Every structure is written in structure tokens, then in C-alpha cells.
Structure 1
Amino acid sequence: MQFSGKSVIITGAGKGIGRACAQLMAARGASVVALSRTRSDLDSLRAEIGGRAIQVDLADPAATRAAMAEAGTCDFLINSAGINVLESVLEMTEAGYEAVLGVNLRAALIACQEFARARIAAGGGGAIVNITSIAGHRGFPDHLCYAASKAGLEGASRVLAKELGPHGIRVNCVAPTITLTELAAEAWSDPGKSQPMMVRHPLDRFAEAREVAESIALLLSEDSRMISGTVLPVDGGFLAV
């Protein structure tokens, strides 16, 4: 029980990687505070792993701060919440920009800020993992705002690591490749779409949500106590070739 006696706030915990993180951290002994927009997802997760559930629309800055206050002081924070609006460079809209940057970047930074304030008031220590993407490192069509949000979160995470390090708070990122959540598995089921991307992965497959969660758990653990300010690709070698 690697995280027995510890507590973790997870944004976007209702689905995908966030839910996999909640399941894994609970299985390893942590008390989970799950944040999600969808009540049914929170209810099913709580029935499965226990813990606490807070319904919140992270696009709303004030609601995000209120949810973090309700979550209280925890040992860890995993920022998993994220959305995408597929728009090309020439088709980008203000609404798409505000939606993607609002959730993927602003909400994550607010969560980090409120988590850090609570940890410092409690005497310091703790760890944050922000989930970014290989889209912040390579240019994918129709991912303009998504790429900006993920690259921006990585840059901000380095500042967070620098400023929060003296308080004993570590901050890292994981940058997953395509991860086969339920929705993604369906979206990438067509070999005509998936194969050109697949061949760019030396391991010849995409990631599973649990594999990303396991990498996050590693960065939260004492085994990574000297790791801060880094971005860990969880990409099967995609960025290496």
C-alpha cells in the first residue's frame, strides 16, 4: 500500500486517464478526492473506490477555486482534466480558444495554486503531476489551441517547480501519446487512421490509461523524491525517433 495514509486530488477523475489514476491510487492506499463535471461519473467512481467526490465545471475559475477549497489540504494533486476543440489554424474561433485554454491551462494553474497554498500553510511538502501531451511537442493538424495549452502547462510547471521547491513541493508532467480510453479506442479503431500514427511508435502500440496512471504514481512516490521540473513522455518512444 504505497500511498497508505496519503490523500490525492484528481481533476477530470470521472473518465479516461483521470479515472485510471483514481482507481490506481485508491488501490495503493490513497484517499481520493475526485473532481469532475459529470455527476453520474462521480457516483459510479465513488461506488467503486470510495473517497470524496466534488462536481465542478473547471471552465469556471471561481467554481474551480471553490472546489479546491472544498477538497482541502491533500498530499498530492493530479491535473488530468482536459478537453479539445478540433480547429485548424485558419478556422480557430475565440470560443474554441477560451474553452480549451480555460480548462487545460487556466484551471490546472488555479488547482496548482490552491493546492500549493494549502500545502504551504500545512508546513510544505507534497507533489503535483500535470498531464500534458505529445501534442505539445509535435505539430498535429487541428490541434492549435490544444497544443498551446499543453506546451503552456509544461512551461508553467517548470516555474511551479522552481518556486514551490523551497517549500518541499515537487512538480512534474507526464506527456502521453494516444491513450486508449474508451472514447479514444473507438476513435482510433480504423486502421487507415491509426496505422500511420502507430508506425511512429517504436513499441508499435498506443498507451493504455493504466500505464499512464502508473507513470504518474511513480512521480508521486518517494522513489521519485529527487525528480522535479521534468516532463516524462509516456509515448512508447514516439518523441525519441
Structure 2
Amino acid sequence: MTTVAEQRYAGVLRLDGKRALITGAGKGIGADIARAFAAAGADLVLSGRDDAELTRSGRALSDEFGVDVRSAAVDLADHDGPAALTRMASEAFGGLDILVNNAGISLPESVVDTTPENFDATIAVNLRAPALLAAQIGALMVEQGTGGSIVTVASAAALAPLPEHYAYCASKAGLVMATKVLARELGPHGIRANSVCPTVVLTQMGQRVWGEEAKAAPMLARIPLGRFAVPHEVSDAVVWLCSDAASMVNGADIAIDGGYTMG
């Protein structure tokens, strides 16, 4: 006979019936989060700039997990990108329960070599777009009156300085604080907002950038676990934050960094 506790834990990390928007979902961490959400039973709106890539990914997830997957190709760097995506995503399922703000860019350069163009581009994609998208999706969730969850994929670079990432660190630190304001203002409506802050994640791009032993060694030396993260370690945390298992977690910034930000 199944006990009450067994029934509870069997479904506590499920997202059945939830409608989720995931940005930057075409590749890397975003694609892994999308797969984790589909496996947990959520219906998805996948956002990115490559419509063909999103359509292929969505079809594969739908075939494998039996969930409803839509795509919304939007360039969030565009001035009206967040508003356009809010409209497209909300119309896909008649509302949203979850937003995962994952899209971002990195244009490494030292402080003394920082260009206005790269600085502005980084702030536009990493801070302005996700902050405005969260505000607009948050307003939609308030209007729905059924609560919700907003998760920001920030970075360990939001919590500890990273050389040659001046604009990136500033953008991600700003996004963590913006998420805390969301948590403060939207919490009374049953809407939770949290951030995850990963160290280097070994996606295909991560492998290209950090695969060289000489470049990786100084960074690895600062991580007590002695390794970089893999995508599912981020995705698992995001699923947990959006599930009932994290129903009292609000305004947190969770480091997924092997201890890097301890100093």
C-alpha cells in the first residue's frame, strides 16, 4: 500500500499542467532545461532567435515526452523584444505559470579594453531584456491570480568578480538584484522569483572556451570540488525551484559552483 509520504514525494518534482516559457532554449543550458521540464511534464514555449532550431527541438521533446511544445523566435536585444515575447508566449497556452530567464551573452574583455558597443550589447541582452520580460510576465501572472515561478539563470560571476568579464559581471549582478525585487513585490501574489548562479558549465560552448587545460587550470583551482558543472546540474536546480518542493523558496540566489563563491 502506497503511503501518503510516498505519494507526496512521487509527484513533488513534477510540473504536470504547468505552462513554462524558457528563453535561450535552442542550445546549451537552455536546451537542457527544456528537456528537463518536458520530462517533468510541463508544456513549453521555447524562445530563441533560430525558429528552425526551436521547431526541431520542440518536435523532438513533444515526441519523446508527450507534452505540448510551441516556439517563439524573438531577438530579445530588440527594443520591443520582451513585449513581443510576452504576447506570443501568453497567447500560446492562454497564460503562463513559469518563466525561466536563461538567454544571455558573454563578450569577454578587460576593463581597460572595454568598448561601449560590447558593454551596451551585454547589458541589453543580459539585464534589460530579462528584467523587462520578468516584469511583464510577472504582471501577467498577477492578473491570472494563480501564482507562478520566475527563475533567472545568472552566474557565479554575479557573486564573485571574474577578470575580463567587466560588463558580464555587472549585468549578471544587476539581474540577481532585479530578481530579488521581483520576489519582494510579487511574493504577496504567490509568485516566487529566484536565481541560480552557475560556475562554468560544460556545454558545447563551455567546452570550446574552457576546454584548454592551461586556461581552465586557474579557474578549477578556485573550485573546491575541482571541476566545472555539467548542464543537468543547473537544470535539476531549476526544476526544483519551479516545483512544489521549493514552495517556500523566494528571493534566493543559489550558487551552483562547487564552492567557488565561498572565496
Letter in 1 for 2:222: R
| Alignment correspondent of 2:15 | 3
1:88 aligns with 2:100: no
| % same residue | 40
1:69 aligns with 2:87: yes
| Alignment correspondent of 1:106 | 128
| Alignment correspondent of 1:15 | 27
| Alignment correspondent of 2:5 | none
Q: Normalized against structure 1, the TM-score is what?
A: 0.97
| Alignment correspondent of 1:30 | 42
SS of residue paired to 1:90? helix
1:195 aligns with 2:236: no
SS of residue paired to 1:95? helix
1:42 aligns with 2:54: yes
Cα deviation, residue 89, structure 1: 1.1
Distance in 2 between residues matched to 1:27 and 1:95, nearest whole Å: 40
- Conserved? CA contact 1:86–1:143, under 8 Å: yes
Matches within 5 A, 1:82-231: 82-231=104-253
Cα deviation, residue 138, structure 1: 1.8
Cα deviation, residue 161, structure 1: 0.5
Distance in 1 between residues matched to 2:81 and 2:162, nearest whole Å: 32
Distance in 2 between residues matched to 1:131 and 1:49, nearest whole Å: 21
> Which 5+ residue runs of structure 2 have no aligned equivalent?
1-10, 63-68
- Conserved? CA contact 2:154–2:176, under 8 Å: yes
Distance in 2 between residues matched to 1:26 and 1:66, nearest whole Å: 24
| Alignment correspondent of 1:59 | 77
- Conserved? CA contact 2:46–2:72, under 8 Å: yes
Distance in 2 between residues matched to 1:238 and 1:142, nearest whole Å: 17
- Conserved? CA contact 1:69–1:114, under 8 Å: no
Distance in 2 between residues matched to 1:199 and 1:145, nearest whole Å: 24
Distance in 2 between residues matched to 1:10 and 1:198, nearest whole Å: 29
Query: How many matched pairs?
Result: 241
Q: Return 82-91 or 29-38, whichever deviates more.
A: 82-91
Q: Deviations over 1:140-164 (max 9, x none)?
A: 2210100000000011111111000
Cα deviation, residue 64, structure 1: 2.1
> Which 5+ residue runs of structure 1 have no aligned equivalent?
none
Q: Return 77-86 or 32-41, whichever deviates more.
A: 32-41
Task: Say what the alpha-carbon RMSD is for the aligned residues.
Answer: 1.2
- Conserved? CA contact 1:10–1:22, under 8 Å: yes
| Alignment correspondent of 1:232 | 254
Distance in 1 between residues matched to 2:79 and 2:110, nearest whole Å: 26
Letter in 1 for 2:85: A
Cα deviation, residue 39, structure 1: 2.2
Radius of gyration: which is bigger? Answer: 2
The runs of at least 4 consecutive aligned structure 1 residues that moved more than 4 Å come to none
Letter in 1 for 2:56: S
Letter in 2 for 1:223: A
Cα deviation, residue 194, structure 1: 1.1
- Conserved? CA contact 2:155–2:196, under 8 Å: yes
SS of residue paired to 1:9? strand
SS of residue paired to 1:61? coil
